[in-house]
Amino acid sequence: MEKISFGKKGLIPAIIQDIDTGKVLMLGYMNEKAWEETLRTGKVHFWSRSRQKLWLKGETSGHFLLVKEIWIDCDEDTLLIKVKPVSGVCHTGHYSCFYRQWNGKEKRWEEKEKKIFSPEEVYGKGD
């Protein structure tokens, strides 16, 4: 049987990693339905906490996350999903949502990665 702890709110965090580059792309949250749809379709689905609905990542942009491997942690309360991303995953136009690095000397976040697509062209509304 699959053992997953969806937590008090029925959600489990899922770390998304590019299987080819090893880059961590984003963190999303799945409920049971999102988990089932991810397995059924091979495309990552989340539960959108802001929109309170099932969210096929890429439904607006076409930037789907194609599932290659799924791992679970020791406590069964976090998923690691290795994917092939169709294109950049971030709604800002960046390849990864982690495009800002902590600058310890200046005590500020510093943008380190360039955009790889134009969010205005790709999205009508968010993704």
Select 64 or 89, whichever has its Cβ closest to a copy of itself: 89
78 binds a copy of itself (CB under 8 A): yes
65 binds a copy of itself (CB under 8 A): no
* Dist CA 124 CA 42 (whole Å): 25
Contact 12, 35 (CB under 8 A): yes
CB of 62 to a copy of itself, least distance (A): 19
41 binds a copy of itself (CB under 8 A): no
CB burial class (10 A; 0-12, 13-18, 19+) of residue 88? Answer: buried
120 binds a copy of itself (CB under 8 A): no
The residue from 6, 43, 60, 91 that contacts a copy of itself (CB under 8 A) is 91
Residue 98 gets the label, from left (phi > 0), alpha (psi -120 to 50) or beta, of beta
Helices (H), the chain: 32-41, 119-122
CB of 122 to a copy of itself, least distance (A): 15
How far does Cα 89 stand from its chain's mean position? 7
108 binds a copy of itself (CB under 8 A): yes
Select 104 or 124, whichever has its Cβ closest to a copy of itself: 104
* Dist CA 87 CA 102 (whole Å): 25
In the complex, the residues that contact a copy of itself under the rule CB under 8 A are: 1-3, 13, 15, 17, 22, 24, 26-27, 39, 69-75, 78, 80, 90-92, 94, 97-102, 104, 107-109
